Each structure stands twice: as C-alpha cells, then as structure tokens.
Chain A
Amino acid sequence: MITLTHYLVLSALLFGLGLYAVLTRRNAVAMLMGIELMLNAANINLVAFNKYAAPGAIQGQIFALIVITLAACEAAVGLALILAAYRRFETTYVDDLTLMKW
C-alpha cells in the first residue's frame, strides 16, 4: 500500500541528490542538472499532496505545471548565461569565474 510518505521520501532523496550535485560539481552545466533534479523533487511533492490530501482539487497539479514552466525558462536563461560566459572566459568551471569576486 503506497501512502503519501513513500512519495515524500522519494522526493526528499531526489532533492538531496540534486543538492549534492549543486554543491559538489565544478561544471556549471552539471550544477544546472542538479537544479533540475531539485525542481522535479518539489514537483513530486506537490502532485503527491494533490492526490492524497486534496483528492478533488487540481491546484497541486497546476502549481507543478507552473514550476515546470519556470524550470524550463530558467534552464534556458541559465544555459544562455553559461554560453556567454564561456565565450568570454573560455571556461565553464565555476571555480574560475571569479571576475566579480571582491
């Protein structure tokens, strides 16, 4: 019997994986992949609560849809930023992007 807790645990583990990727990886594109994993974990949470806590409602799915849209836009903008930075600095490793460090 799959309860709400199963989905929440799956979402928590996926979020931890994404967080580990953002904290550890040196390549900016790999950090972005971690961010996508975290957004998907949040979406699983939203849709799971939609099914188990408010079965007749659709607001959870609408919220998840908005999150998917925002994630797509943010990934596009982030990747454009990475390309622009690569064109200027010849590197995508965030350790080397220190121009604005004080």
Chain B
Amino acid sequence: MTGEAIAFYVLAAITLASGIVVVTSPNLVHSAVALIPALLGVTGVYILLNAEFLAGIQVLIYAGGITVLILFVIMLTEGGTGLRVRQRNEQGPIAAAVAAAVAALFVALAGGRRGRGRFRRTRRARSGRVFSARTCCCSRGRRSCCS
C-alpha cells in the first residue's frame, strides 16, 4: 500500500462519510457542518491530483465562504434543528433507486475504458520508445496529423 493509496482511501472515506451525514441527517445544522469535512476531503483529493492552487481556492471559497453562507441562511430562516419537523419527503426509496442507478451508470462508464480506451497517456512505438498520444502520428511519418 503506497502512501498515495492510503491518502486516497482515507480522503475518500472522509468525503463519502461526511456526504452521507449531509444527505441523511435530520438535523439541518448537522448537515451544514458536515459539509465542511466533505469539502476538505475534496481539497485533499485535489492535492493528490497535483492541483494545489485549486485546493487552496476550494478551501477559501467552498469551506470558507459557501458553508458560512449556508449557515447564515439556516440561522436566518429558522429551518431550525429540524428535530420536530420531517426533513425528508415521501420519495425516499424512489430517489435512492434513481441516485443509485445514476451512480452505477457513472461507475460503469468509468470502468469500461480500462486498457482499451483513448485515455492512455502514452503509446509505445515499435522501436520501444515512449511517445505521447499527440506525437505518435508525427513520429511515424504520417503527414495527416502534423501541422
């Protein structure tokens, strides 16, 4: 288990667990506060993906601005803690089925391109040298894709 794998799984667990709290908590303030670790988990994912600037912007704008704004509006509109009011409508099972279907569709689309798709970074030419996908045509002497 490399460090990157450990970091990814920890961050994914934090993000998804906080997301579940955001989505299913009967207490509205708990949902809003749980949004913060969810967004910070996404920040960690950005850092893993070498997008440090985006991670900083995410913390500033999302965790620092939008969640505070949401908490303001919760306090101003007396959504309250929601402990006496029903927070979920009647479409729970259908909504869960639809959301699960959409997520399964995306997972199937994600896994279906493994090894066969166009998103491989490099392609090995016959000589064994490694080219990027853009220069392979040019290196083989085809003029069609060289400008």
Contact = CB atoms under 8 A, between A and B. Distances in A.
A33 B22 contact: yes
A50 B51 contact: yes
Nearest to B101: A16
A13 B104 CA distance: 8
Contact of A75 (B28, B51, B66, B87): B66
Contact of A23 (B69, B79, B99): B99
Interface in A24-57: 24-27, 29-30, 32-34, 36-37, 40, 43-44, 47-53, 55
A44 B16 contact: no
Residue picked from A14, A30, A68, A76, most chain B C-beta under 10 Å = A30
A18 B73 CA distance: 19
Interface in A6-25: 6-21, 23-25
A68 B95 contact: no
23 contacts: A2-B48, A3-B114, A5-B111, A5-B114, A8-B109, A9-B110, A12-B106, A13-B103, A16-B106, A18-B19, A21-B22, A24-B88, A26-B87, A33-B35, A33-B70, A40-B42, A47-B46, A47-B49, A53-B119, A61-B53, A79-B72, A92-B77, A93-B85
